[in-house]
Structure 1
């Protein structure tokens, strides 16, 4: 099959390219060209901000893969290429859903209102709704919409899924203590980037269409931390702090600077990382054990450099100070 990847030089896009090449397909990537495409793929250098950029592509394609969250890019692509691309696969996000407090919701759950303006990170979920609408309107039964939750695996430069295994491998304190959230109801729902890419390519091969929560069964955050700790060989103490303590000390949830990656307050986010993946499972999605993803992510983190500047988590110095505060406080934490 002759396949088009819009992008292909980033993390997920690159894995889609490698999965397609590994299955014997011809792959053309349309990207700005500031980074190389995987070996074996062809690069067509073009800027999607230019509405005429798609004219740089020649010929027809069995399918296209798009990972954009920009409604204008999504709409421009399907408008320009509808007559030359038979099927369309869009990687959206579980952030399109309007309700985050109800576990086990499937793809029929209510969505946020669509945002049709230019890309705005503050409108991330709404913008992806608009991207989905553009693809579905153009391709209908020939459209595949994948809604992953958080993506993990080697190469995660958001630093969310590499933070915990790396911290357990390199604690911030001399005695090996690690600060963790004490949040019994919190869950994680991670899909390995390689599994997602493989399923997307196979789905296009099989003519799979529809909308899917492309993720795994959820696990408790406590289970995930235990796996990350075991993989890293951590034997130090865990200093667990509750939600009130976390809020009082200005630690952000989920991602970003001075955060607890993957953790979200409960119960308002009880359903955010607990979506139903049943439909995707029925459509052939297969995922590797979480332990394998954590192990490979840690190996990549160690190779990338434990001391590099990070986009998510606590700095070692900050964490050491916070552990000191937690241990000396009369309440608000427990150790084990």
Structure 2
């Protein structure tokens, strides 16, 4: 049994993580702003993680074997967490994102066109940090999401007083109504009613992960020992938007209809003009076993269709 603190944990894979930690017999403390209560059995503090003094006061003298930070988006939040938890935890896990590899948001080392990127492509040990930027501004943060995550990783890596892991998650699917981003629903709703979706002139593949698999990986990363640093989290198998549409078409009995975007017209949320894939080899070498996207995708599509307002044909 370990004592685990989860910052966030009120929805989607964070909520599932809390449930699984409790089922595994761990003592769980959830810290969030109270948008939803945690499962029975978890200690709960309603506090804004951006209020450093309030967070420290709420935790009191508690110490933890691990902290799983689901909602760290900026270097300012990371620096605050370092101060609050430096004497309170033996291990820190931050949920990061595939977006740290987005070449449109930063100058990154060149990787061969069809090569899934390894973790060292973005090295937080040398990434520059700017805490003076307007990270408190919601519009600025939204426009600089990837950079906020990169800089948060850098702060934990260089300034943390504890072993640190960043879990760089692929695009997360599954859970039906729980999948709050609406990205899968964008396609299931259109295809189920025979409407067209918009693609780029050249479609290249990306990687995905099921929300249950991501919760499992976060539990593993929090309770394991012997490794630190970034971990790419993605199921096995590449998928482009046409493969995704084919899975939805098979579930609905509809033939997917797409249209190529005009110049400067936005395409759908999983339409990429770059090879947007990560290598999950490091996590595998450390002992984690990933599922295949092709195996869980039909279930994720069925869940999305089940909550759609448009009935399948």
- The two structures have a TM-score, normalised by structure 2, of 0.81
Match of 1:75 among 74, 79, 96: 79
Asked if 1:247 corresponds to 2:262, the answer is: yes
Q: Is the CA contact 2:22–2:42 (under 8 Å) kept in the aligned structure 1?
A: yes
Q: Secondary structure at the match of 1:213?
A: strand
Q: Is the CA contact 1:2–1:26 (under 8 Å) kept in the aligned structure 2?
A: yes
Quote the offset at 1:48 in angstroms.
Answer: 1.6
Distance 2:219 2:77 in 1: 21
Q: Structure 2: which 5+ runs fail to align?
A: none
Q: Secondary structure at the match of 2:34?
A: coil
* Matched residue, 1:17: 18
* Matched residue, 1:262: 270
Distance 2:86 2:174 in 1: 33
Distance 1:226 1:302 in 2: 14
Distance 1:45 1:220, change over 3 A: closer
Q: Is the CA contact 1:7–1:29 (under 8 Å) kept in the aligned structure 2?
A: yes
Quote the offset at 1:251 in angstroms.
Answer: 4.1
Q: Is the CA contact 1:26–1:41 (under 8 Å) kept in the aligned structure 2?
A: yes
Quote the offset at 1:292 in angstroms.
Answer: 4.9
Q: Secondary structure at the match of 1:69?
A: coil
Map 1:54-73; keep pairs closer than 5 Å: 54=55, 55-58=57-60, 59-67=62-70, 68-73=72-77
Asked if 1:288 corresponds to 2:291, the answer is: yes
Quote the offset at 1:30 in angstroms.
Answer: 0.5
Quote the offset at 1:194 in angstroms.
Answer: 1.1
Distance 2:79 2:52 in 1: 10
Match of 1:168 among 160, 168, 191: 191
Map 1:229-240; keep pairs closer than 5 Å: 229-230=249-250, 232-236=251-255, 238-240=256-258
Distance 1:72 1:152 in 2: 29
Match of 1:216 among 197, 215, 235: 235
Quote the offset at 1:92 in angstroms.
Answer: 1.1
Q: Is the CA contact 1:189–1:218 (under 8 Å) kept in the aligned structure 2?
A: yes
Distance 2:295 2:161 in 1: 36
* Matched residue, 1:90: 94
Q: Secondary structure at the match of 2:117?
A: coil
Aligned residues: 285
Q: Structure 1: which 5+ runs fail to align?
A: 173-177, 254-259, 308-336
Cα shift readout 1:269-328 (whole Å, capped 9, x = no counterpart): 22xx21211112222333334245433433443443426xxxxxxxxxxxxxxxxxxxxx
Larger Rg: 1
Q: RMSD across aligned C-alpha pairs, in angstroms? A: 2.5
* Matched residue, 2:5: 4
- The two structures have a TM-score, normalised by structure 1, of 0.76
Cα shift readout 1:159-210 (whole Å, capped 9, x = no counterpart): 11233234333333xxxxx445375541021011111111111122221322
Cα shift readout 1:8-67 (whole Å, capped 9, x = no counterpart): 112232122122122221111011112222333221111122121222014111000002
Asked if 1:133 corresponds to 2:143, the answer is: no
Distance 1:114 1:139, change over 3 A: closer
